Homo-oligomer: A and B are copies of this chain.
């Protein structure tokens, strides 16, 4: 009976993501998103409570691929096309962690939003559930699962944040070398390393610490 909606929240999220990818996160505003959709600013408020909710939609959209690809990996593993993905809990966890990194890496500007809304956005919650499934499969009981999840999520959030800042930092380390010799060499080493390798390396460290030793899969 009422007038039909001419926009969807998905379209709005996509427009916001376009703005972020093109002009960076600081450019994200109700005005710019509305302009991207050829609408006036206030039109958005018919679909979204406030900016907070819009950000949540963007995060959900950007993190969508994580689950899609995880699901396709799982389906593929059922068909034994991608045996590596199903080799074992440890390998599956590693894949999940790397999928999250890739999803965020595809839209770097979203990272601060993802960090802020990872607790209230469906995609992120589903991702965590997947982690827990793998942890359960590895034989961890509930308390150890909770502890392991905390360690893994903390690492991922921190590592992504570090990587993001390294990418957007205004080259801070000018006065570092003399005062902090160890730090200087460490930063140099890090700058010379492939970020993806550094991420996976740290992830493996955490998995080792959880007692999920390198199994037959990897």
Interface residues in chain A, defined as those with a beta carbon under 8 Å from any beta carbon in chain B: 115-116, 119-120, 125-126, 128-129, 132-133, 136, 142-143, 145-151, 153-159, 161-162, 165-166, 169, 172, 176, 179-180, 182-183, 185-187, 189-190, 193, 198, 201-202, 204-210
Contacts and interface: CB of A to CB of B under 8 A. Distances in A.
Question: How many copies, total?
Answer: 2
A169 B120 CA distance: 9
A157 B162 contact: yes
Contacts of A172: 119-120
A155 B136 CA distance: 22
A217 to B, nearest CB: 18
A133 B182 contact: yes
Overall SS of chain A's interface: helix
B182 A132 contact: yes
A154 B155 contact: yes
Nearest to A203: B151
